[in-house]
Structure formats: structure tokens, C-alpha cells
Amino acid sequence: MKNCFLIFIVFLFFSCANSKAIDSRSDSLLNKYSKSINEADLRKHLYIIASDSMEGRQTGSIGQKYAGRYLINQYKRNEIAPAANTTDYLQFIPSSALKTRGGQFLDSSENIAAFIKGSEKPDEIIVLSAHYDHVGVKNGIIFNGADDDGSGTVALLEIAKAFKEAQKDGHGPKRSILFLHVTGEEHGLLGSKFYSENPLYPLENTISDINIDMIGRRDADHSQSNNYVYVIGAERLSTDLLNIVIAANEKSSKIDLDFRYTENNDPSRYYTRSDHYNFAKNGIPSVFFFNGVHADYHKSTDTVDKIEFDALTKRSQLAFAVAWELANRENRITVDKK
């Protein structure tokens, strides 16, 4: 009996040591690929996405289609596949599904969707979303929307590239990842609504949405430092998701996680105001990364020269670290709240 106990203790020691070794190996890989998300690339992409030639990326406009074409070309260059049921990465949305709050119908537009297939649980999908539309041109003045949401748009490109590099080295994600650039956000989350009603992959297999909308600036409450991000909604449906965000930040960016807007009774109601909400309302645990509003919010002065690329890089790396954990952990996260 004593011997049995001894063997048990030895077994326990080695299995703990082994799982620690696996953890630290996974952490070092996370670190390695996280570093491929860098300021120079984010800057290069954002100077194009938020340039005047994209004419403010109004939903359905030629300028938005130029921006979309740029995104698709980046996915092709990085050998990242189009998502299922798209035409060359495009999910077409008819004008009839693009009704504005004022009751007009916008020109037809497209969500853009790229996909990295999981190696072990390919049917389980993690979505990374960001809207690539903005408010276009008003009275001849272009609204570039560098922060809103050029910043999230280019973050997705970089996160996708990091996952692809890992996959090429034999460390691809165990679950699949969908990179979803939605349209029509500025007119009422229309592109993500269309996606949730016409999903490219079954919603019941969609385990989480990580939504990025405005992560390149700071707000007045953080005038002293840009080393923060607002985390909204993570705990609303899943305690696992909240814990993952906190742990991922410890392993990667180590920025201040500011939870002030996540409360159910928060008057800003940010939880319902960006694209993750169309996933959350379908019971999919979702988290929204956001830098808060600033003086240039929804003004023609939201330009790329005001982007703080150091902050954009760290926040993008955090979103990558969260996706990495969601994709590679043993168990799918659980929904433990309504």
C-alpha cells in the first residue's frame, strides 16, 4: 500500500511537471508569434486603409470596395484561404438587407471573410471581427476613420498573419479561426447582423467572437498613458472568457484592463453598440476591445497621423493572445450565464 502511494505521488509529480512544460512551451510560441504583430506593418496597412483614396469607406461605395480589395490582396499574399461559402472572400449583402436607421437602403455591400482551419477541432470556430466601413464623405470632406475602425481592420490582418506563420511552422491553431471584416456597422451593425442571420459556419459551433473597434487612440480619462484597453462583455456569458482575457494579458501585453464599461447598467451601453453584440445575442461569448471615444470620434479629423501605433500594437497582441488560448486550449469555453 505504501508503495502504491509512492508510485502515485511520483506519477503526480511527473504529470504536473509535464503539463507545466507543455504550458510554458505554448506560452513561448505565443510570445514568438505575437511579436510578428508589429508597428511597422500596422502603420503600412493603416496609411492605406485610412487614406483619402478610400473616400471614408462608406458602405456600398467604391472607396469601401477599394479598401476591401486591399484586405483580400493581403490575405492572398499571406496564403490565408477565403472562408467557406464566400466568393473570393466576399459575402454579398443585398441592398434590401442594408436599411439605415433613417429608413433608406444603402447600396449592396460585402462582408470579407478569411479562414484558418484548425488542426484538431476544425468545426469549432473562433471569430475575430472588425468593421471596415466608415461614414464616407460629407459636404466634400472625407472622413478617414483611422481609429474607427481602420485600427481594428489592420489589427485583424496582422493577427491573421501571425496565426498563419505559426501554422506554417507546424503550430497552427487547434480550432479554426474566422477573420471577419464586416460592413454596415455605422448604420446599425448591419453587416454583423446579416452574418448572424446567414452564418458561413454554424453558430452553434461558433465558440466566441473577439471584436475590435477603435484601438489606436486614447480617451480623455487616460491622458497620462495609452497603456490600457477597455474590455467589454467578456464575463456576460462566460466566466471562462473573462479569465482567459486576464490570463492572456498577463502572458502578452500586460496593459491595464479597464472594465468600467462592461457593467449591465452602464449608461454608455457599449456592449450593445458594436458588432460582437450580434454574436452575444445569439448566446456566443463575446469580448469587445475598445479605446473609448475622443475629440475626433466620428469627425473628419479621425486621421492616421493621430494613431498611437505603440498602443495599437499591444492591444492587437492582446487580441491575438486571447484568440490563441481560445483556439488551443483543451476544452471549449463554457457558457455559464444568460
Binding stretches for Zn ion (CB under 5 A): 148-149, 213
Q: How far is the CB of 281 from Zn ion (least distance, A)?
A: 18
- Nearer to Zn ion by Cβ, of 110 and 148: the residue is 148
Within the chain, residue ranges assigned H as helices are 2-34, 39-49, 62-77, 152-168, 190-197, 234-237, 239-251, 277-280, 309-328
Query: How far is the C-alpha of 153 from the C-alpha of 311, rounded, in Å?
Result: 15
Find the shortest distance in angstroms from Cβ 148 to Zn ion: 4
Closer of 148 and 209 to Zn ion (Cβ) = 148
Choice between 311 and 327, CB closer to Zn ion = 311
Which triple of cell numbers denotes residue 282? Answer: 445569439
Residue 213 CB, nearest approach to Zn ion (Å): 4
Rounded to an integer, what distance in angstroms lies between the CA atom of residue 73 and that of residue 77? 6
What minimum distance in Å lies between the beta carbon of 290 and Zn ion?
9
Least CB distance from residue 285 to Zn ion, whole Å? 21
Please report how close the Cβ of residue 155 comes to Zn ion at its closest, in angstroms.
13
Query: What are the C-alpha distances in Å from 121 to residues 27, 117, 124, 238?
Result: 20, 9, 6, 20
Which CB sits closer to Zn ion, 151 or 196? 151
**Structure-block grid coordinates of residue 8:** 502515485
2-34 and 309-328 are packed helices; what angle lies between their axes, rounded to 10 degrees? 140
Q: What gap in Å lies between CA 337 and CA 137, rounded to an integer? A: 42
Burial of 102 per CB tally in 10 Å (0-12, 13-18, 19+):
exposed
User: Is 308 or 325 the residue whose CB approaches Zn ion more closely?
Assistant: 308
With respect to Zn ion, which residue has the nearer C-beta, 290 or 324?
290
